[in-house]
Amino acid sequence: MATMYYEKDADPGLITRRKVAVIGFGSQGHAHALNLKESGVDVVVGLRDGSPRAKAASDAGLKVVDPATAAEWADVIMMLVPDQVQQGVYNDVIRPRLDPGDTLLFAHGFSIHFGFIEPPPDVDVAMVAPKGPGHLVRRQFVEGSGVPTLVAIHQDASGQTLDLALSYAHGIGGTRGGVIRTTFQEETETDLFGEQVILCGGIDAMIQAAFETLTEAGYEPEMAYFEVLHELKLIVDLLWEGGIEWMRHSVSDTAEYGDITRGPRIVNADTKEAMREILSEIQSGAFAREWMAEYSAGAPNLAAARQEIATHPVETTGRELRDMMTFMTPKTPEDDI
Ligand code: NAD
Ligand code: MG
């Protein structure tokens, strides 16, 4: 069983006695910086000169400086720039300003676990990773609850790293939701596996294939959209509330019989073999190296895929339908926080 920590296990005073720099003000960065500030923590946000996020951060009442000034001033540095950018920011800006006894924090283990960042041995290195998107980390904190959070220790030079990490987790609301102890390896490998085979990759591929199958057979795209994308949320909510048993209990017996007889034909032994291959590419570091090489080359495959999905019929159909749904506020990438 994993070790769990709650409010009583954290000393909120540890983090308030430190100087915290949050580098980046994106999804996670804005939530961490604002929650810490409201928990009484001395926090600055480190952003590049001309960052489009600087105005949002200072409008929110936060002190904004360039990443070098933030790293120089702070003795706790939370790296919340995108994973593929962290190595460059660390080498250019953070590493020259790390002092013995400083604490380097991450919200995902990618850079440390795959060796893109190798901090000096006299620095504490830990992870405080909310298991949810930044806007939820912020919203739940404001509402008085918190997103379940992972902590892991990579380097414990001071002997106090876990206590400091728990205090930071307390400051962002994580101990309200429960903090799970893990390792950089476990968090990184399971996180990548989850997003590749099911949460993002698996589901996205399945939606597109199912939509294409229906529309190629002559069914209306609007019907196909509702069936293969819109209704997914209702099913995921049931799974989230009560697992597979509760979902199967809640759908019709017809749906349940279709589930048990047809599901295993879609996800079969070959699919599971592909999952094992994907897992071993993650474990070997092959995926991490491939992604860093893609990013270094200007991310051409990512750009092409973004272009391609924008014009896929499941997206063009979905956009029109969502605009007519009065019960929700449709989102596009331009609506980012
Ligand atoms: P993001 O893309 O939302 O935000 C990145 C921020 O970094 C932005 O403010 C951007 O302006 C800034 N930035 C980009 N390049 C920079 C540079 N060269 N120098 C300084 N600032 C720069 O990123 P995110 O999704 O918040 O991810 C941050 C970390 O949190 C990652 O390690 C990620 O894996 C982790 N994480 C994210 C989520 C999530 O829901 N998004 C959840 C858990 C963990
Ligand atoms: Mg994840």
pLDDT, one tens digit per residue, over 94-114 is 999 999 999 999 999 999 999
Q: Note the pTM of the prediction, 2 decimals.
A: 0.94
CA–CA gap between residue 311 and residue 305 (Å, rounded): 10
CA–CA gap between residue 221 and residue 218 (Å, rounded): 9
Whole-number pLDDT of residue 155: 98
In eight-state DSSP terms, residue 36 is H
| One-letter amino acid for residue 297 of the chain | A
| One-letter amino acid for residue 227 of the chain | E
Reduced to 3 states, what is the DSSP secondary structure of residue 20?
Answer: strand
Pocket test for ligand 1, best of 80, 90, 295 (most atoms within 8 A of CB): 80
Read off φ and ψ for residue 160, nearest 5 degrees.
-115, 10
Whole-number pLDDT of residue 326: 83
108 is catalytic: yes
C-alpha 127, offset from chain centre? 13
**Cβ–Cβ < 8 Å for 225, 318:** yes
Distance 332 CA to ligand 1 centre (A): 18
**Cβ–Cβ < 8 Å for 193, 185:** no
Edge-to-edge strands, sheet with 124-130: 4-5, 179-181, 149-155, 124-130, 103-106, 76-79, 19-23, 42-46, 63-65
Q: State the SS3 of 116-143.
A: CCCCCCCCEEEEEEECCCHHHHHHHHHH
Atom index in ligand 1 nearest the CA of residue 29 equals 26
Q: How do strand 19-23 and strand 124-130 relate by DSSP bridges? A: unpaired
Q: How far is CA 61 from CA 30, 37, 90, 267, in A?
A: 11, 9, 26, 49
Whole-number pLDDT of residue 333: 84
**Cβ–Cβ < 8 Å for 180, 150:** yes
Structure tokens at 321: 């339908």
Residue for token pair 């390896």: 185
Radius of gyration of the CA atoms of the chain, in A:
22
Which parts of the chain register pLDDT below 50? none
Structure tokens at 51: 């960052």
Distance 195 CA to ligand 2 centre (A): 6
CA-CA-CA-CA torsion sign (30, 155, 11, 98): negative
Q: Which of 37, 97, 42 is nearest to 67 (CA)?
A: 97
The DSSP result for 222-267, as a single string, is: HHHHIIIIITHHHHHHHHHHHHHHHHHHHS-HHHHHHHHHHHHHHS
Catalytic choice (30, 32, 108, 154): 108
Whole-number pLDDT of residue 256: 98
Ligand nearest 190 Cα, by number? Answer: 2
CA–CA gap between residue 10 and residue 168 (Å, rounded): 9
CA–CA gap between residue 135 and residue 56 (Å, rounded): 14
Ligand nearest 195 Cα, by number? Answer: 2
What are the pocket residues of ligand 1 if the criterion is a CB atom closer than 6 Å to any ligand atom? 24-29, 47-48, 51, 53, 67, 80-83, 85, 89, 107-108, 129-130, 133-134
In eight-state DSSP terms, residue 183 is -
pLDDT, one tens digit per residue, over 197-244 is 999 999 999 999 999 999 999 999 999 999 999 999 999 999 999 999
Pocket test for ligand 1, best of 47, 64, 66, 81 (most atoms within 8 A of CB): 81
